[in-house]
Chain A
Amino acid sequence: MIVTINGQALEAQPGQTILQLALEHRISLAHFCYHEDLTVEANCRTCLVEVVTPGDSRLPIGEIVPACTLTAAAGLAVDSQTDQAISLRRDNLDLLLSHYQPHCHDCPRGGSCAVTEAIDQDSLDLTRFASSATDYPQVRLGKAIEYDPNLCIACNLCVKACEAVGVGYLRLAGQGVTNRLTVTDNPAVECVYCGQCTLHCPVAAIREQSDLSAVEAALANPELTVVVQMAPAVRVSIGELFGFPVGKNLERQMYAAFRRLGFAKIFDVNWGADLTTMIEAEELLERLEHGAGLPMFTSCCPAWVRFVEEAHPDFIPNLTTSRSPQIQAGAAYKTWWAETAGLDPQRIVVVSIMPCTAKKHEANQPKLAIDGLKPVDYVLTTREIASLLRKHRIDLARLTPADPDRLGEYSGAAVLFGASGGVVEAAMRTAAFHLTGDAAVTIDWQVLPEQPTIRQATVVLGSRRLRIAVVSTLQSAKQVLTAIRENARTYDYVEFMACPGGCVGGGGQPVPTSRRIIRQRQAGLRSIDTHKTNRLAQHNPAALEFLDYCAKMPAERRRQLLETSYAMTGSLD
């Protein structure tokens, strides 16, 4: 059917809303409570259009309707630029943001901002109405996330994102203007720091706890050796904040940018992922050998681990004891590499660039310390590093692509860690190579109907048949855990990621993120693997060297460097 928006005749699908149609055709229209993956909220009342020709909608001419609730109807014509629509939209935007204090100077958002866009586009005057801000205290969630109720516009998107991921920790409460973000009063529900809230907040009222100033201070200190490592998912998403197409691999531009920012060494979390793959595959084969601790669960997603510790501690024995890639790599830098390079580990600062907010919490866990030092000192999200690049006026498009240092080299398997399914696939290659001498594995995934967040397969490795599964979102994880509780033999090995689609959909990624965007980022990672000559963890020479170093250590030291333990917490920290 044909629908006209602002004089432009457009083909619309049945059931499509006018806002969806407008966004599809890049017709700009303010909106603060709509996200394409979530149900319509219709509470901000800013995407207003005026009915010009009712067509089959049968609405009165001149009616003002939010485009998010107006379904396409044949012959319908609407206009967002009539005098009425403009002035009512401006009223609601000025009201909505009356208590909003622009905080661009310390906003870790990395560029995309609905507020500044609306201020420019709809000529807002945020001082036109009295501010409804009250002196609410800021709230910190672990060492990962913070929110400022004074900035909250009660759009409800973080609450819905938190529910959708399967946590349900956030909620809005309060009548009238006191309707603001708060947390659940159910003591059985805990935040897992996944950061999906920060990814859905249109105004960065809920956001990562920023480590930007600490990192800048470290970079400015000549006595420190500051090394950087970037997670797989970051390279295919950072470009979105600088006008590149979604999924474009910008790792070599980022390596160049890191040098420009003053990092002494450019390493890569992918190098750590090759370590993790080898440790984890070895543990899997051992568990299969002894038939104990099965199914084995991945543990590189800290939000998932926290979810198990808090809500499903009976599954703690199933978690692999392998530390996550950033932590194993960080330990390698501060021990083996420091020795090789003749550096004092106390003067090495490790900075991870992650698509994740939970990694901030992970890096701060005292139990992971090596000789009293944190393996990773600071974690910046994809958005934070974009903010830093902007601040230093570093334009990725103008940089000459560069290469990393030796501990930045990695196999194609490692980069797969950045998307749901990658950890299992990397481990399968390594296990296959170990058992058969051939790393080529075909995995014939079976996707559960209507549920792309759960996949399963049977893999034949020599004489073994492994039942594996890949799960993303904690909502889906609950379902799979229930199935495993009913029948422990359902799977041998399961990968769990808290965020939809894995780390590419992580809570530290650029805004906006949606299922559609996540698929394009996944394709970007897949393509890196396909084009790599080395696609197997065991073929990473520097990683093997470090494992040799560990093998020569006493068992206790080896465990300290590579393995972790879990606690049945049952409550926060």
Chain B
Amino acid sequence: MNPDTLLAAMAAAGIVGRGGASFPTDLKWRRLKDLGRPIGAVVCNASEGEPSVHKDAYLLDHYPDRVVGGMVVAMEFLGVREAYFNINRRYFERYGRHLLSITNQITADRGWIFHYFIEEPSYIGGETGALLNAIEGRRTQPRLSPPSPSIQGIRGQPVLLDNVETFYDVDRLVTGDFQPTRLATVTGPVPAPGVYQVPRDSTVNAVLVATNNRPDFTFFAQVGGSASGEVINQEQTTTYELTGCGAIELYRADTPPYQILRRWFDFYAAESCGKCTPCREGAYQLSRSFAAIGPAGPLPWPLIRTIVRTMKRTSFCDLGNSLPVPVESYMKNVLGMEVAA
């Protein structure tokens, strides 16, 4: 497929970034092509460091040929002979052997090089700048932008970085197998947790029904990742479309707020890379305060509001910015509290 045809087909099919940002993939690819500079490498992001998201693992398990196939399309498109897998160590242990046999064949046939950067599983390790730093041997911390991490990618050269599912979609497109579906990971106290292909504009409720996961108890859901996803109440599931990385985590409506909030706070305190003040110190304050008050204690709402606001307004990267998404939507949609605009 010639480059313009490919981009037009991608646009027409509506292929977007499946790491969670949903940025149109054709625009991303075109921007790199139009730089008029040699591109260093194609990078596949198989970090998947957010809890309760398993779609990349699913694809690496069931469709490794398609994932690599999509990378090869990108390499041909950009005239690149080098690619990286940024791969979660647990995934490499499970799927690495099969992946290697596929990429080794390409290396044997075409001389193209595939590097495997095996990442210790972490949330920040999937952030673009942090991921590229790690590949370069630096600390796994986000980069200051500008310059955009994809323009000043690896050793000063631009790189194309896409998620596992994005490459999978590209391969489905060029092989004529494209369907307007996406992967949904359904978790929580549901009858059939797992990863499912669903129509991509499905509402959350539709996914739950289609996968036989619609529970008979009252519930609320977190959509788009169990760390960074928005929380919606049961009523909202009928109109709210699947977003972000396509994860749906279900919670019983009677789950104590302490338990819900503490899980997020502990996660962010542990996963903050420690670079910037609001995320490093703020998440710690919340986690520590919850440990101190215990499940029976009154929730420290003023502290929560202060830290959430500071993290949202002043964090260095999207990890710190994202904690407020679940917390504020939970406060608003489930607890019916007022949240500052």
**A residues at B contact (CB < 8 Å):** 40, 42-46, 48, 64, 66, 69, 84, 88, 91-92, 95-96, 98, 129-130, 132, 154, 172, 174-179
Q: Which of B30-38, B88-96, B281-289 contacts A (4 or more CB under 8 A)?
A: B281-289
CA of A66 to CA of B316, assembled, Å: 10
Which residues of the partner chain B approach A91 to less than 8 Å between Cβ atoms?
278, 306-307, 309-310, 314
Does A45 lie within 8 Å of B274, measured CB to CB?
A: no
CA of A341 to CA of B42, assembled, Å: 78
Which of B144, B277, B292, B306: most chain A Cβ within 10 A? B277
Q: Which residue of B lies closest to A64 (CB)?
A: B313
Question: Of B271, B282, B313, B316, which contacts A175 at CB under 8 A?
Answer: B271
CA of A96 to CA of B310, assembled, Å: 12
Q: Which residue of A lies closest to B269 (CB)?
A: A176
Which of B270, B275, B307: most chain A Cβ within 10 A? B275
Does A154 lie within 8 Å of B280, measured CB to CB?
A: yes
- Give the size range of B's interface with the partner: 20 to 34
Which residues of the partner chain A approach B283 to less than 8 Å between Cβ atoms?
176
CB distance from B83 to the nearest CB of A (A): 29
Which residues of the partner chain B approach A96 to less than 8 Å between Cβ atoms?
277, 281
B256-293 contacts to A (CB < 8 Å): 269-278, 280-285, 288-289, 292
CB distance from B65 to the nearest CB of A (A): 36
Which residues of the partner chain A approach B163 to less than 8 Å between Cβ atoms?
none
CA of A43 to CA of B144, assembled, Å: 10
Does B285 lie within 8 Å of A48, measured CB to CB?
A: no
Question: Of A40, A64, A84, A95, which contacts B277 at CB under 8 A?
Answer: A95
Does A48 lie within 8 Å of B314, measured CB to CB?
A: yes
CA of A222 to CA of B275, assembled, Å: 52
CA of A175 to CA of B292, assembled, Å: 21
* Residues of B contacting A: mostly: helix
CA of A69 to CA of B317, assembled, Å: 13
10 of the cross-chain contacts (CB-CB < 8 Å) are A42-B144, A43-B316, A45-B314, A91-B278, A91-B310, A95-B277, A154-B274, A176-B269, A176-B271, A176-B273
Question: Of A40, A98, A176, which contacts B274 at CB under 8 A?
Answer: A176
CA of A175 to CA of B280, assembled, Å: 8
CB distance from A509 to the nearest CB of B (A): 28
Does B284 lie within 8 Å of A177, measured CB to CB?
A: yes
Which residues of the partner chain B approach A172 to less than 8 Å between Cβ atoms?
139, 274
With contacts A45-B316, A130-B285 known, is A88 near B310, CB below 8 A?
Answer: yes
Which of B139, B144, B313: most chain A Cβ within 10 A? B313
CB distance from A403 to the nearest CB of B (A): 51
Q: Which residue of B lies closest to A155 (CB)?
A: B277
Which residues of the partner chain A approach B307 to less than 8 Å between Cβ atoms?
91
CB distance from A160 to the nearest CB of B (A): 12
Which residues of the partner chain A approach B269 to less than 8 Å between Cβ atoms?
176-177
Which residues of the partner chain B approach A129 to less than 8 Å between Cβ atoms?
281, 285
Question: Of B270, B276, B310, which contacts A43 at CB under 8 A?
Answer: B276
Q: Say if the beta carbon of B133 comes within 8 Å of chain A.
A: no
